[in-house]
Amino acid sequence: MILDFLFLDENLCLSCKRETHEIHFLCEECLDKLDFVDNEFKILDYNTRVLYFYNDFMANLIADYKFNRNTSLYKVFGSMIYSYLKEKKLFNFDYILATPSSKSVLNKRGFDHIRLICDYFIKDLGISYLDSFKKIKNTKVQHILSREDREVNLKNSFFIDEDLTGKSILVFDDIITSSNTMKEIIRTLEKNNPDSIEIIALASSHRVKK
């Protein structure tokens, strides 16, 4: 079972661990380092929302969470997403799809970093996980590949055996860069006839003009 890091003062910022946290379990100084963009754009004609620009601070925060196993940061990211969903009134979904990792990645990392973030707020949303959606292929790390190789790398890497007729799906991921992962997820979902698909991500490395 994943346990939060223990701090001497539970009111301290979960990033710097020095100052008292204000919102999203971060102190004012750390909050100022975030670049909130609230971008909306389309991926394969589906509405996509991104909260923050993937600047150095956000990159370090996500890396600390994923690779250094600072699992307490799930509260930071979960709070960010939940607050945004409430502000935008994005509650009318049958399922949330926490972008899955392969078994090899999960075994190496020791926890499902995307699902843990969703655990923070899913009960309050009153929707269910789309647990039938799986990653079945051990893909290579995307950022080391060429644009062409990225698409080949992800092809047929996801699978779902469930009729989604009339169902609405909210797909969540931490970072959107080339969008290839999200495109492959969408193509896999489309085969099962969902009524609607929307995407939300914490951060993107691209600034998108509204």
Q: Identify whether 9 is part of a domain.
A: no
Say if residue 189's pLDDT is above 50: yes
Q: DSSP state, 171? A: E
What average pLDDT does range 168-189 have in this prediction? 95
Q: Identify whether 139 is part of a domain.
A: yes
| Burial class of residue 95, CB neighbours in 10 A (0-12, 13-18, 19+) | buried
pLDDT tier, 5 (very low <50, low <70, confident <90, very high otherwise): very low
185, two tokens? 């997820």
Say if residue 200's pLDDT is above 70: yes
Could you tell me the CATH number of the domain that includes residue 141?
3.40.50
Q: Identify whether 145 is part of a domain.
A: yes
The pLDDT tens digits for 59-101 are 999 999 999 999 999 999 999 999 999 999 999 999 999 999 8
Q: Identify whether 15 is part of a domain.
A: no
pLDDT tier, 137 (very low <50, low <70, confident <90, very high otherwise): confident
The pLDDT tens digits for 167-176 are 999 999 999 9
Question: Phi, psi at residue 201, to the nearest 5°?
Answer: -140, 150
Alpha-carbon distance of 62 to 70, in angstroms, equals 9
How many domains does the chain divide into? 1
pLDDT at site 2: 45
Q: Identify whether 164 is part of a domain.
A: yes
Q: Identify whether 143 is part of a domain.
A: yes
Q: Identify whether 93 is part of a domain.
A: yes
Dihedral over Cα of 60, 146, 136, 48: its sign: positive
Phi-psi region of 89 (alpha: psi -120 to 50; beta: other; left: phi over 0): left
Q: Identify whether 4 is part of a domain.
A: no
Helix axes 147-154, 180-190, angle to 10 degrees: 30
pLDDT at site 178: 85
Task: Specify the 3-state DSSP secondary structure of 101.
Answer: coil
Q: Which domain holds residue 145?
A: 28-204
pLDDT at site 64: 96
Phi-psi region of 17 (alpha: psi -120 to 50; beta: other; left: phi over 0): left
The rounded mean pLDDT for the chain is 89
pLDDT at site 142: 46
